[in-house]
Chain A
């Protein structure tokens, strides 16, 4: 083709490319590229981590955990089948780039919502499903009772997490000094602490609670009272698919709303007979709502029947590890969980 030889040809080429590119991007925002890909593939690719209680394989090689159940709930929303979620473990350094490259459709790996992740990196976040905070676990023999007394100590931090920055900020603010020891692997933390390589370790309290149960002598360690940060953990997705984002949002809301109404996996069938019009719409007895939003009328019912409401998911995976509800309770019970109305 002679397009390249004349200046006019060049201009035509550039113009065509620009139009093609703009139509591609605008088309992408409208059609929902992630959701299309998911439906074409037949499974949702979910990025997870390995933290006891939140996500871990059981002896049969099946993923189990708090976040895993949300992956299954998402699969019900899209396919009506909890088994259509495909979980893959990824390291903290790798998970966001992998989400960006399309390796995952959604990250349920305990990603903290931050403004730079949202606005600089362009990720979208669903509702916070776990309110976490960074804490410090110290050896008792160092004699510390609060984080301020850790001046001059050696603290293990995990590389590539917000935790690394938080602890540096915390010590800078208080004017104290500390030596960070960067540890890549979560399971190495305990080894470093028990071997005395570090005086303390810092991580989200969710990770530390799981670690306490693994320590050979849990009484030799103290969880310091300070919370160094707010760590709202939410599902993360790549930008550019509004419909997919809303499906993630409302899948989470189903579990919260169900708990507010007292609907559990065990009694959900009785609620099908409820006279409350809101519950009728919610469970699909009255299909008018589902029809307008383009979802299967039974999707909320199936989610509750299969994985349960928020409280059930929490109690199943996190309570055995010694977790209290704390902030992760309904707004009616002094917590932060609040679902917008289903109407």
Chain B
């Protein structure tokens, strides 16, 4: 029904029993393929056995730092002792159910958002509600729930909350920016272009320093704003520029005829956008948005430069404890696994969604 066609790799029907032939052709089809295959096998033979020995066979699974130093392998005892700190950092231990619950809520919201069957109006209400609930869980409420200063937040909940809140608040702003950039009003267009280009021309670290150092001076005297809140505001403004460009791509993919047809029906600008253009445009850019979201998740590790204990920073600090000194490899490995789970999950999800939306469109 529409001219938007996505290049989706479709599974080819393959007669059974040919799999082995295909495999052989793929691996040794030509002399070049054969060479690459052999080189890869050789490389794996060099890398994998020592890695396995370090990861599993020689690893120390329990005990103290001294036991670990006596062995040659990885020190998983260190992770056992530090996993709480890596995931939750300085959050008071007796209240740790709160950040855990916040994480669960946030992951639940992300999972619900990922499934097209939940794409209803309620989701737009659920987002601010869950974010508010998470904030309440983390910060507490004076008098009712024991307050915990944001100075003590850290680890996975901080990474997740900053990421989700920034992305969620950047998206509406980005849509407005993208619309403004394609607007007929020259002044609005210029403003939008200037904003997007300015933000994209600044590195994220500079944005974070701005949030940390310049923003407090810009506030009226005597007023202070929470550091994490400051970071969230600046990052959301920053990410909006990137997302706006993705959304603009989607707007361009919607044929002009759609808008004209809607206009002939007598719809105004906002109704056209809301009912006709944006639903199609956003659908097209979902893979692009997921891609951006993964990139942004990894970028949250830059929060370390302004002293926020995100997941990576907490892992790094965990290896500075004199009684567990220097097990950086293990700490980084655990964090890498967590980031990978999110990144890989996101990319598989994006593929699945593309395929599904494509099927829907053809039906």
Chain A residues near B (Cβ < 8 Å): 43, 45, 47, 50-53, 56-64, 86, 88-91, 94, 97-98, 101-103, 185, 187, 190-191, 210, 213-215, 317, 320-321
**A57-B85, A59-B85, A61-B89 given; A94·B320 CB < 8 A:** no
**A86-B151, A101-B217, A320-B322 given; A187·B93 CB < 8 A:** no
Chain B residues near A (Cβ < 8 Å): 81-82, 84-85, 88-93, 149, 151-152, 154, 209, 212-213, 216-217, 224, 227, 304-307, 309, 313, 316-326, 328
Contact partner of A57 (CB less than 8 A), chosen from B92, B209, B305, B317, is: B317
| Docked-complex contact B93 and A61, CB < 8 angstroms | yes
6 more CB-based (< 8 A) A-B contacts, given A62-B90, A86-B149 = A64-B322, A91-B307, A98-B307, A101-B217, A190-B328, A210-B325
Query: Interface centre among A45, A61, A103, A190, by most B CB within 10 Å?
Result: A61
Closest Cβ of chain A: how far from B156's Cβ, in Å? Answer: 13
Query: Interface centre among A43, A45, A94, by most B CB within 10 Å?
Result: A94
Determine the residue in chain A with the shortest Cβ distance to B216.
A101
Closest Cβ of chain B: how far from A179's Cβ, in Å? Answer: 25
| Docked-complex contact B326 and A94, CB < 8 angstroms | no
| Docked-complex contact A57 and B89, CB < 8 angstroms | yes
Closest Cβ of chain A: how far from B82's Cβ, in Å? Answer: 6
| Cα(A190)–Cα(B81), bound, Å | 23
Residues of B within 8 A of A61 (CB): 84-85, 88-93, 152, 154
Closest Cβ of chain A: how far from B68's Cβ, in Å? Answer: 12
Residues of A within 8 A of B149 (CB): 43, 86
Q: List 17 A-B contacts (CB under 8 A).
A: A47-B307, A50-B317, A57-B85, A57-B317, A58-B321, A59-B81, A59-B321, A62-B90, A90-B306, A94-B213, A94-B307, A101-B213, A101-B216, A102-B216, A185-B316, A187-B319, A190-B326
Determine the residue in chain B with the shortest Cβ distance to A320.
B322
Residues of B within 8 A of A86 (CB): 149, 151
| Docked-complex contact B323 and A58, CB < 8 angstroms | yes
Residues of A within 8 A of B326 (CB): 190, 213-215
| Docked-complex contact A187 and B306, CB < 8 angstroms | no
Determine the residue in chain B with the shortest Cβ distance to A65.
B322
| Docked-complex contact B306 and A94, CB < 8 angstroms | yes
| Cα(A60)–Cα(B89), bound, Å | 8
Determine the residue in chain A with the shortest Cβ distance to B88.
A61
Determine the residue in chain B with the shortest Cβ distance to A59.
B81
| Cα(A187)–Cα(B332), bound, Å | 12
| Cα(A326)–Cα(B84), bound, Å | 37
| Cα(A214)–Cα(B224), bound, Å | 40
Residues of B within 8 A of A98 (CB): 212-213, 307
Closest Cβ of chain A: how far from B255's Cβ, in Å? Answer: 49
| Cα(A47)–Cα(B306), bound, Å | 11
Query: Interface centre among B209, B307, B313, by most A CB within 10 Å?
Result: B307
| Docked-complex contact A59 and B325, CB < 8 angstroms | no
Query: Interface centre among B90, B93, B318, by most A CB within 10 Å?
Result: B90
**A61-B84, A61-B90, A86-B151 given; A321·B322 CB < 8 A:** yes
**A94-B209, A187-B328 given; A317·B90 CB < 8 A:** no
Determine the residue in chain A with the shortest Cβ distance to B92.
A61
| Cα(A98)–Cα(B322), bound, Å | 27
Residues of B within 8 A of A191 (CB): 328
| Docked-complex contact A94 and B93, CB < 8 angstroms | no
| Cα(A190)–Cα(B324), bound, Å | 16
Residues of A within 8 A of B212 (CB): 94, 98, 101, 103
**A61-B93, A86-B151 given; A56·B213 CB < 8 A:** no
Residues of A within 8 A of B216 (CB): 101-103
Contact partner of B93 (CB less than 8 A), chosen from A60, A89, A213, A320, is: A60
| Cα(A101)–Cα(B90), bound, Å | 24
| Cα(A86)–Cα(B152), bound, Å | 9
| Cα(A210)–Cα(B323), bound, Å | 12
Contact partner of A213 (CB less than 8 A), chosen from B92, B209, B313, B325, is: B325
| Cα(A320)–Cα(B319), bound, Å | 16
| Docked-complex contact B321 and A52, CB < 8 angstroms | yes
| Docked-complex contact B307 and A88, CB < 8 angstroms | yes
| Cα(A102)–Cα(B328), bound, Å | 32
Residues of B within 8 A of A89 (CB): 307, 309, 313, 317
| Cα(A185)–Cα(B312), bound, Å | 13
| Cα(A56)–Cα(B318), bound, Å | 8
| Docked-complex contact A214 and B318, CB < 8 angstroms | no
| Docked-complex contact B322 and A52, CB < 8 angstroms | yes
Determine the residue in chain B with the shortest Cβ distance to A190.
B326
Those 4 A-B pairs whose CB atoms lie nearest each other, nearest first? A214-B326, A56-B320, A90-B307, A61-B90
